[in-house]
Structures are given as structure tokens and as C-alpha cells.
Amino acid sequence: MLDILYLDDYLAIVHKPAGWLVHRTPLDKGETRFVLQTLRDQIGQHVWPVHRLDKGTSGVLVFALSAEVARTLGQAFETGEGLHKTYRAIVRGWPLPEGWIDHPLKRMPDDMRTEREESQAAQTRYATLRRGELPIAQGEFASLRWAEVQLQPLTGRRHQLRRHMKHMAHPIMGDATHGKGPLNRAVAAHWGLQRLWLHALRLDMRHPVSGQALSIDAPCGPEWQLWAEPISD
């Protein structure tokens, strides 16, 4: 059963578990857990995904209950207009206290369309919330520096947060595509848990039909307490 955060005649918003695909895909034929099919069976009606969260990402995920509402919201999620998304992530290293990432991103190979720009503008705001170290040797260093950051994407590009943090040389822990494999394996072995440490914490948006302001929260799971250390100076 999925944790349904909001439900009316137009929208269904759920707390997506880490490790679940949004929908079936031939790229991951062995997976058996799909949010779309589970939600459809749970509420007894068809649903349309409005946006994506990667398989490893947990948190707020929006579905429409009609194709028309899905089209309206899908465009808003791509441009970021009228939406405020807040994420939590654990990254390698100690980023600056806050900053702004304005770095265009090329379309992913499976997202190319004719007569569409190959590169898209992409902006992300970040703030460092917590810093710490793990007793994991990294080259000449005896420990691994990490930070918990708040991320707010201003646009909705594929893998935007993961690619932007890699661009900043602070990849998200557990990112098998944009991070470092040996580092990810070392962290997973240290905690006894393997996951992408990225969570969609909060979504602020206008209801596509009523115009009502919605604020949807999905608290981080208990596994995030593994990183609960005092902020380092």
C-alpha cells in the first residue's frame, strides 16, 4: 500500500518509496514494484503520471486522474512555473553554505525529440544544512566529508539535481550514474544500506482546477537518522 498524501477528483499525490519505479519500463525488466499500477489498484481508477522521480528517489509524487489535468500539470512541472519543489540530499564533500547553479543540461538520449533543442536551461538553488565526516578513507584522506543539503530546482530537467550536484563536484551519495562507484559501495557497506540519498521533501503548487494553494509534505524516512550528526564548523 502506498501512503496517499492528497486525493480529490483531479489529483492523487503519494509518498513514493525509494527503489520503486514510477511505471513499467523495458530498461528495468526485472523490477516488480511500480507506483502507477499500485496506485491505480489502490484507488480503483486510472491515473496519469505528471512528472518523474528516479527509481532511487523517494518522496512527493503527483498523478492526475485525467489526461487533461496531466497535460496541464506536466507543462508546469517542466518549466517550473507556479511550483516550488524542495528536496533533501546527502552529497560528497562540504559545499558552500548556499549557492545558485545555472548550468544548461543536454537532453538524455531517450528524451530526444525532433525539432527540439538538444540543450536546456536548468537552474537549482541549494543550501547546506549539515556537515559531517565518516571514517571511510578517501585517497590521501583518512575520512569522508559529507553534507546534507536542501535543493530547490527552478526547472524540471531529467536527472537535474543529480547532474547539477555532479557538476559542482558534490555528487549525491548512492548515485550509480553520476557518482563514484567505489565511494557508493563504501558508504553502503558502512551503513549496511544501499540507496540513492535523494528525497522529494515538499511540493508547493496551485491546484490545476480550483487554483487552491497546496503544500504537500513527505517526511524523510527513518534511515535518514543515520546521518544525524552535529553541524561541523
List the chain domain ranges.
3-221
User: Is pLDDT larger for residue 203 or for residue 26?
Assistant: 203
Least confident window among 34-43, 93-102, 152-161? 152-161
pLDDT number for residue 228:
86
pLDDT digits (tens, 9 = 90+) for 111-170: 545 445 678 999 999 999 999 999 999 888 899 999 999 999 998 888 999 999 999 999
Q: Tell whether the model's pLDDT for residue 29 goes beyond 80.
A: no
pLDDT number for residue 85:
96
- Mean pLDDT of all residues in 79-106: 94
pLDDT digits (tens, 9 = 90+) for 54-74: 999 999 999 999 999 999 998
54 is catalytic: yes
The helices-and-strands tally (H runs, E runs) of the chain is 4, 12
Query: Which position has the grid cell 480529490?
Result: 8
User: pLDDT above 90 covers what percent of the chain?
Assistant: 77
H or E segment at 79? helix 67-79
pLDDT number for residue 212:
94
The class level of CATH for 3-221 reads: alpha beta
pLDDT number for residue 147:
97
pLDDT tier at 25 (50, 70, 90 boundaries)?
low
Joined grid coordinates for residue 169: 563536484
pLDDT number for residue 107:
79
DSSP letters spanning 107-136: PPGGG--TTS-SEE--EEEEEEEEEEEES-
pLDDT number for residue 156:
85
Candidate list 8, 28, 54, 175, residue with the active-site label: 54
pLDDT number for residue 114:
44
pLDDT number for residue 233:
45
